[in-house]
Structure 1
């Protein structure tokens, strides 16, 4: 098997497998938000709510950067900017 075929298989697995797993994780966090938003009286539930909301944003941003870097050349200035932004996030 040539390396180009393996790279194609790897990129397809990342695009489809990763996006499906990320969508299930985002749905899971949305369910956590819906459950915890009803019980905002104690500090633990507020912490869990803020953590779930922040994780949804991080999952969306990280998923976008991974799929963008697979589809486009990693030597573009936008790719470097996305990588640096993710590190700071």
Structure 2
């Protein structure tokens, strides 16, 4: 938490952990130069260099959302597929 991740496409500050599993962890991160811009960063577990993917944080964890439904299933129609303007 508080760590700055630097890459050729940007710099992100780790805010908090939102999910952890046997193969990866997901963190909320903010743009190091604009802390109002929130993203999710997935870090895969491996020895040495870490692999990661940064994407816009747009809503709740889909697993938690699915478990909150009576049928425990998330219909495909419930997911809004759209591309962010932040490229």
Which TM-score applies when normalising by structure 2? Answer: 0.28
Query: Bigger relative contact order, structure 1 or 2, given CA contacts below 8 A and separation 6+?
Result: 1
Could you tell me the TM-score, scaled by structure 1's length?
A: 0.28
More helix, by proportion:
1
Q: Which has the higher strand share?
A: 2
